[in-house]
Amino acid sequence: MKQFIKVFIFSLIIFSVVITTGIFTYTKFISPEGIAGEFPDDEDNIEQAEEDEEEFDSPLEKAIHDSNRVNVLLIGLEGPRSDTIMLASFDRKTKEGNIISIPRDTYYYRDAYDKYSEMQKINAVFGSEKDGYKALMEAVEDIAGIPVDKYVSVEYDGVRAAVEAIGGVNFNVPFHMKYTDIYDGPKGFYINIPAGQQIIYGDKAIELLRFRNGDPGYPSYPDGDLGRVKTQQEFMKAAVKKSLSLKLPSVINAVYPHVKTNFTLTELFGLAKDAIGFSTDNLSSKILPGEPKYLGKLSFYIPNGQEILKAMYDLYDVPLSVDTNEENVADATDTPYAP
């Protein structure tokens, strides 16, 4: 399980870095005014620390202030909802990378939606707020207890465009995927992909990645959402392999309209420079601490605030001997719930 997650995340990072860097290189020539400032370097941090003798409420807060880490929210969009949410953290000095996957059913209580239980899932935040990116970044900050500096989002249409740009992906579909939802959009949503080795093109790629449960009489993943993620992993690896064997301009042009970020070109190039020498040995991944639980008739993933806090102490290399019980972090189990 750990190795599978590591390979999947690394494949996603490679694809994101290659495409995003290419996109912003492309943007440099069509929109040079988009280039702005860069992250402060180590000397800037030292000078700031000398000038700013602040009082910190906790060892973690001080570690965050002194750190060279950049925390980035990775968002995969399915319509108005964020289908995939990951918090990527990269230490620019030690070249260590960490990925925290946040289940889309993670419970995140919002007063404004007190009467709508399905809106208390974190994947509903993006599409229900005026500034969805800002709101989702703040939600992840509340749950994780650390700052989120930047975001990168990719729509499913971007995946479709990328797959078409590389001429499809040769992929072995594990079983006949058949699914019907007449209420999904004005025309409904239908999946019908036979099992076996085949070339997966645009729309079929979206169907493959979205499939979870089969129609009556047709198979579903025996291990639930984990099976879906495994298929996504294998498809991503195949797509990455083919993408890297081709020239990228056509892929960049195809994906560009579907990628949004608040990174500037200078910031991306700065990160690329800092990432030279990065190794998969320095990449770790985990799922946000918590547990699945039914609240009313809906399935949620309940964050464990105390374990999240310990994970953040570990992320910022703060000794665990520090009494974390004195600190507080968002814990969904302590928030009200309206069934």
What are the chain's domains? 2-157+247-334 (3.30.420.590), 167-244 (no CATH)
Q: How far apart are CA 218 and CA 14, in angstroms?
A: 34
Q: How far apart are CA 204 and CA 200, in angstroms?
A: 6
Report the SS3 class of residue 263. coil
Under 8 Å between Cβ of 153 and 261: yes
H/E run at residue 260: strand 259-261
The position carrying tokens 């770790």 is 284
pLDDT, one tens digit per residue, over 153-209 is: 877 777 788 788 888 999 999 999 999 998 777 788 899 999 999 999 888 988 998
Residue 97: per-residue pLDDT = 84
Average pLDDT in the chain: 77
The position carrying tokens 């440099």 is 28
Confidence of residue 219 (pLDDT cuts 50, 70, 90): very high
Q: Which pair of structure tokens corresponds to residue 76?
A: 């995969």
Residue 183: per-residue pLDDT = 78
Report the 10 Å Cβ neighbour count for 85. Answer: 23
Q: Name the DSSP letter for residue 98.
A: E
Tell me the CA distances in angstroms from 221 to 24, 61, 182, 228, 258, one per residue in order: 38, 42, 21, 7, 29
Confidence of residue 11 (pLDDT cuts 50, 70, 90): very low
- Which residue type sits at 103? P
Q: Look at residue 326 and tell me whether its pLDDT is greater than 60.
A: no
In the chain, how long is the greatest CA-to-CA distance?
A: 68
Q: Look at residue 80 and tell me whether its pLDDT is greater than 60.
A: yes
pLDDT, one tens digit per residue, over 26-73 is: 554 545 444 444 555 555 555 554 545 568 888 999 999 999 999 999
Lowest model confidence (mean pLDDT) among 44-48, 102-106, 248-252, 294-298: 44-48
Which residues touch 196 (CB under 8 Å, ≥6 apart)?
172, 173
Using a CB cutoff of 8 Å and minimum separation of 24, what contacts does 81-84 make?
81/123, 81/124, 81/126, 81/127, 82/122, 82/123, 82/125, 82/126, 82/127, 82/136, 82/153, 83/123, 83/156, 83/210
Q: Name the DSSP letter for residue 183.
A: T
